[in-house]
Amino acid sequence: MEDKQIGKNILVVLAGIFVASLFLRVALPYNHVFTDSGVIFRGSDAWYHMRLAENMAHNFPWPMLYDSYTLFPQGMTVVAPPLTTWLIAGIGYAISLGQPTTHTLQIVGAWLPPVLGTLTLIPVYFIGKELRSRWAGVIAAALVAFLPTEFFSGSMLGFVSHHVLETLLAATTVLFLIRGYKRERLGYYALAGLALGLYFLTWHGAIFTLFVFWLWLIVQFAVDYHDGRDIASLRSGATITACVALFVYSPYHLDTGGPVVVILALIIAAATPQIFGFLSSRVNDTKLLVATAIAIIGMFMLAIWVVAMAVMWGRGPFVWTAGWVKFIFVTSTAFGTVAETKPLLPHAAILVYGANYLFFFVGIYLAIKDKQRPLLIVVWGILMLIAVSIQRRWDYHFVVPLSLLTAYFFLEIGNYIRKGVKSRLSLALCIILLFASTPASIKLAMSPSLITEDWYNTLVWLRENSPEPFDDPEAYYNLYVAREPEYGVLSWWDYGHWIIEVAHRVPVSNPFQQGAVEAAKFFVKGKEIDGVKYVIIDQEMVEGKFNAMLFWAGVDIEVKGVERAPEESAIVKLRNGELPGYRLVHRENTVEVFERVGMETNNS
């Protein structure tokens, strides 16, 4: 009876967490997203995801594989796998009975992040339950739901991206791996493989989660072998996981010619448990088995070195993947002004996580000390800590193992406290820490979208008052356009996705940092770019972003402290009407559009 009452209490608390999670993510930012002007998405990447979803809806169920509106003027292969696009377009297609309008897709896209973010709490709760108890799951779910992390901001209404779906699928993969290992059920391993395969269809960075799985596999094999446990289930299950993921991902890979390193990594992951199983059946020496593990790790590091050489020299079989490997895993001055590629250092992490960041380390120690706890959570937590210390983009994932190991700490300290007060103390401590950080989350939820009303109205004007960049007025919705655009639109790279989705025009630079150097040299030095017909500037480019322009333009470091553009800069001359060859054609308060004089197009 008492256990049933505890179960009811847990359901009530979980329901409250779910409702509060949706309230923070939906109600607070609602008026910033659904406005009189239309659906205003948050951030920059959200607009490009909606561009992909709209294109798929017109060609359902086929995703666009080559985008002529990106990488001016020749276009480029779409590097984002299509699962997020399928979700938006597929749901829109279903609820509209096969006739989705742009507005329908926008509503679906806006709601998808908070729904996925709240659904993520389900595997987090069950992992916590597997880790220690149901209350550990509750505490972990609350921390994931309310801490002011990248996951929180990325799961708000209107923040369309693949990041929240990544976290959901990564947590689901870990949950089924833990259940498969603890219960020795191959079906759970297969479900883990399904989740991992879907993760690869969401983002190629899933290879890092695969590495977590692979490294855990080696550690768990070594520990179980040393302790004399049966490894047959782990051997078969791990291979099933990798093979199912390979089966799910391969059709997309074969269709697009995606990164070969993903296929190789999945094959290695499938083969590793069989190699260990073969050796363990013939080797009775733990040291020899460990030496073999070290050799395999060495082979993996050699493969990483080959990829690194491809990144540095642009050669070898991995040249196709060099760019995204560098952007996902490497901190580089090439992306020095991109916030998500910078490391999350301890002092910044404490500002985000508070004391939970410190409790996370204690939780790792306690989990390692207790050999009955799943090692996968420890391996996951340590590797995600390393990843987020290199690039803060991994904070989307790091919040989950941090919350789990913090929850584990909260409940484990009860072992050192009198039984009558330990549960109350753990709960009180968790609530205090949540209340300390929740105001920051509320502030995040109430912040306005990056695109201003001036920018949105300007881009609507541009769409209605400028010639089509291609002969076909429906080119925006075509899967492939077999020609280059007649002209491009120049602005700072932050605004490139807005120009594509709202104006249906081709930006010279975009948030993939393509064209950033050329744009910077124009705004700083006035260096012309062939094919540019329109230039859009705003006040922030003159007063806030000019320092980044100096960086991308390669200006000497001594002058990089400049925040406001000097009078002799090209952007100020343009704004003052002093840059030859350009005339002001539209002004929307802080945003101005200039047209290049004398440049005609066939569609003018």
Q: Read off the pLDDT of residues 192-249 as tens digits, 9 standing for 90 and up.
A: 999 999 999 999 889 889 989 988 998 888 888 878 888 889 999 999 999 999 999 9
Model confidence pLDDT, tens digit, residues 73-109: 999 888 889 999 999 999 999 999 888 999 999 999 9
Q: DSSP string spanning 338-376?
A: -GGGS---HHHHHHHHTTHHHHHHHHHHHHHH-TTS-HH
Note the pLDDT of residue 170.
97
Q: Is the pLDDT of residue 27 over 70?
A: yes
Contact 262, 200 (CB under 8 A): yes
Number of residues in the chain: 604
Domain match, 433 and 527 both: no
Residue tagged 């400028």 (tokens): 466
Q: Is the pLDDT of residue 311 over 50?
A: no
Average pLDDT, the chain: 85
Q: Quick check: is 436 in a domain?
A: yes
pLDDT band for position 331 (cuts 50, 70, 90): very low
**Domain with 239 in it:** 2-445
Domain match, 524 and 440 both: no
Domain match, 437 and 571 both: no
Q: DSSP string spanning 567-578?
A: TTSHHHHHHTT-
Domain match, 257 and 124 both: yes
- Cα–Cα distance between 84 and 95 in angstroms, integer? 17
Average pLDDT over residues 330-353: 68
Q: Quick check: is 604 in a domain?
A: no
Domain termination site, one of 392, 419, 445? 445
Domain match, 437 and 572 both: no
- Nearest partner of 523 among 499, 558, 555, 485, judged by Cα: 555
Parallel/antiparallel/unpaired status of strands 591-596 and 582-588: antiparallel
- Helix, strand or coil for residue 44? coil
Q: Is the pLDDT of residue 570 over 60?
A: yes
User: Global pTM?
Assistant: 0.90
Domain match, 11 and 142 both: yes
Domain match, 167 and 150 both: yes
pLDDT band for position 350 (cuts 50, 70, 90): confident
Domain match, 431 and 519 both: no
Tell me the three-class secondary structure of 391-444, residue by residue: CHHHHHHHHHHHHHHHHHHHHHHHHHCCHHHHHHHHHHHHHHHHHHHHHHHHHH
Contact 35, 156 (CB under 8 A): no
Contact 167, 126 (CB under 8 A): no
Domain match, 168 and 36 both: yes
Domain match, 435 and 460 both: no
Tokens (6 digits) for 385 = 């800590």
Which one-letter amino acid corresponds to residue 551? F
Q: Quick check: is 48 in a domain?
A: yes
